[in-house]
Amino acid sequence: MPEPLIFEKSSPERKGYLFPSLDVPIFENSLSSEAAREDLPLPELSELDVVRHFTRLSQENFSIDTHFYPLGSCTMKYNPKIHDELASLSGFSDLHPFQPEDQVQGALEIMFQLQNLLAEITGMDSISLEPAAGAHGEFTGLLMVQAYFKDKKESRRQVLVPDSSHGTNPATAAMAGYEVVQIPSNSRGGVELESLKQSLSENVAALMLTNPNTLGLFDENILEITRLVHEKGGILYYDGANLNPILGIARPGDFGFDVVHVNLHKTFTIPHGGGGPGAGPVGVKKFLEPYLPVPIVKKKKNSGQEWYYLDDHYPKSIGKIKAYYGNFLHLVRGLAYILSQGAEGLKRIAELSVLNANYMKEALKKYYDLPYDRMCQHEFVLSAKKQKAYGVKASDIAKRLLDYGFHPPTIYFPLIVEEALMIEPTETESREMLDKFIRAMIQIAEEAEKNPSLVKGAPYTTPISRVDEVLAARKPNLCWC
């Protein structure tokens, strides 16, 4: 811990912020001793103390702005700075959610436009911008599925998820009250059709599918899969975590998906913020519209003028999924991104993200095991099986990459690949950067063979060495008390 805790830098009676003087008389009949708190154990620092503290902390991070960050499944592309400038305009950031409609027409117009553009991009009929993140969007989607079947007086208890799915899919299905049935993958990395057929019944509410899946592979049987599920009256849920490589190439709605969530913080380049906030809009086909969370932004003519308004007249709605109307400032960023790209730009993003991934995959497959040797989409999954023979695991390779100045790929996911290294370069990286990363990976493969202890001892250049996770879990210390 090179930087002490903020509490350790505190000095009694020091102040960091000056308020305007109180301009009203003190209220004499003040708080009783039962109501008032005795002590407020917060730190006491100067403004400069705090600035240096958090600046130093920031410098202990790897980030997109400082490092190549090919973290699979997370779409760590460059986040254009202009979006932050736009989101911080006081006409957006200084709005209250309960201001009268005539004072927020610009904000509602942004939401309206984003709803329409996301519907076009995903091939859906209607969009709710309310969910705050991908998993939140999944929950919203499944509650709509539940409401739909309840309306139809059908009792369906199961949700199918492939074994390659994100952990949020089964967790969401359980939270929405469903029994989770796992479908195995076939030898090409797609959904095993025979197992799917066997699992399908009148008891299945939905199949949740990520396509391209978490192996980075597009399931060629997609039309057969959606046909089979629909045939049994089930709903097709599209997990949009991997939407990036099909932007402008194909649309989930056209494959037959009925519900889609989109991760604005992945595909649409909202900064990840060290884990959030994100935004997870949900799109649906017409027949699910009545169940959308409220409100939805609508447009009408008001004495000849265009007028935007929040419509919460959806009697069959699942209700509100979040207070107010979603992570609005992120919606500003998302819209700015789409407008800055246009149709051609979005398609180019998809193409170059796929080109970058395939370029790296081809260069690395001689050195690392490639369990599914076929054309990938925006990401690909290697296995450190070969290196394991020398006692070097995927996690060791990840740590060693830090010494080479790269953020590692996602490791040990998807679960169906042994010692998985999941690499997603994104389209914003240049070929030079890909080549540098490829060279580092090749060198680490050599080190694993010739000097495995070097790799197993990594990292050597970070502010700390490997952490004792067992200690952290055995005696959890979550608060400086």
Partner 1 sequence: MILPHTESEIKEMLSALGLSSLEEMFYDIPEKTRLKRPLNLPPKMSEAELRKQFKQLAGKNHPLSDQISFLGAGVYRHHIPAIIPALISRGEFATAYTPYQAEASQGTLQAIYEYQSLICKLVGMEAANASHYDGATALAEAGFMAADISQKNEILISRGVHPHYRQVIQTYSKGGEISLMELPLIEGETAIQEAEKMVSPKTAGIILQSPNFFGCLENILAFSELCRKNKIPLIISVNEPLAYGILKPPGELGADIVAGEGQSLGIPTSFGGPHVGFIAVKQQHIRKLPGRLVGMTLDKSGKPAFTLTLQAREQHIRREKASSNICTNQSLCAVANAIYLSVLGKQGVQEAAWQCYHKAHYAFHEWEKETGLTPLFKAKFFHEFAMQIPIQSEKFLKEMKKHGILAGYPIEIDYPEFPGGILLTITEVNTKEEILDFSKKAQKVLDLQKCLNH
267-306 residues in contact with partner 1 (CB under 8 A) are 271-278, 280, 293
- CB 223 to partner 1: min, Å: 5
CB contact set of 454 (below 8 Å; sequence gap of 6+) = 400, 447
Q: Does 389 bind partner 1 (CB under 8 A)?
A: no
What are the φ/ψ torsions at residue 334 (nearest 5 degrees)? -60, -45
CB of 26 or CB of 389, closer to partner 1? 26
- Please tell me the distance from the alpha carbon of residue 50 to that of residue 44, in angstroms, as a whole number: 10
Nearer to partner 1, 86 or 440 (CB): 86
Give all strands of the β-sheet with 259-262 in edge-to-edge order. Answer: 126-128, 282-284, 259-262, 235-240, 204-209, 158-162, 179-183
| Residues 347-366 contacting partner 1, CB under 8 A | 347-349, 351-352, 354-356, 358-359, 362-363
Window contacting partner 1 (CB under 8 A); options: 76-84, 202-210, 381-389, 439-447 = 76-84
Let me know the angle formed at the C-alpha of 164 by 161 and 167, rounded to the nearest 5 degrees: 70
Binding of residue 421 to partner 1 (CB under 8 A): no
Cβ proximity to partner 1: between 65 and 389 the closer is 65
Least Å distance between CB 124 and partner 1? 13
Give min distance, CB of 473 to partner 1, in A.
5
Residue 94 as a binder of partner 1 (CB under 8 A): the answer is: yes
Compute the least distance from the CB of residue 210 to partner 1, in Å.
Answer: 14
| Distance set, CA 447 to CA 57, 110, 404, 435 (Å) | 31, 52, 13, 18
φ, ψ (nearest 5 deg) of residue 13: 75, 0
Residue of 281, 429, 437, 444 interacting with partner 1 (CB under 8 A): 429
410 SS3 class: strand
Interface residue with partner 1 among 235, 336, 382, 445 (CB under 8 A) is 336
3-class SS at 411? Answer: strand
Measured in residues, the chain has a length of 481
- Cβ proximity to partner 1: between 35 and 303 the closer is 35
Pick the closest to residue 209 from 187, 198, 231, 193 (CA basis).
193
Q: Residues 185 to 244: which contact partner 1 by CB under 8 A?
A: 217-220, 222-223
Strands 296-302 and 282-284: unpaired
Binding to partner 1 in span 132-171, by CB under 8 A: 132-136, 138-139, 143, 146-147, 166-168, 170-171
List 197, 201, 249, 311, residue binding partner 1 (CB under 8 A): 249
Vertex 480 angle, CA 395 and 273, to 5°: 50
Quote the least distance from Cβ 269 to partner 1, whole Å. Answer: 8
Kindly state whether residue 371 participates in binding partner 1, applying the rule CB under 8 A.
no
> For partner 1, how many residues bind (rule: CB under 8 A)?
199
Question: Which of residues 230 and 449 has its CB atom nearest to partner 1 in the complex?
Answer: 230
Interface with partner 1, residue 125, by CB under 8 A: no
Least distance to partner 1, CB of residue 271, Å: 4
Q: Answer whether 421's CB lies under 8 Å from 358's CB.
A: no
Nearer to partner 1, 449 or 454 (CB): 454
Cα torsion for 108, 109, 110, 111, to the nearest 10°? 50
**Smallest separation (angstroms) from partner 1 to the CB of 250:** 5
Out of 302, 311, 343, 443, the residue judged to bind partner 1 by CB under 8 A: 343
Are the CB atoms for 176 and 182 separated by under 8 Å?
A: no
CA torsion sign, 124 to 258 to 246 to 275? Answer: positive
Least Å distance, CB 161 to partner 1, is 8
Per DSSP (E only), the strands in 303-423 are 305-311, 380-383, 410-411, 420-423
Q: Among the candidate windows 32-40, 200-208, 230-238, 296-304, which touches partner 1 by CB under 8 A?
A: 32-40
DSSP state of 88: T
Choose the stretch contacting partner 1; rule: CB under 8 A; options: 89-97, 200-208, 383-391, 439-447: 89-97
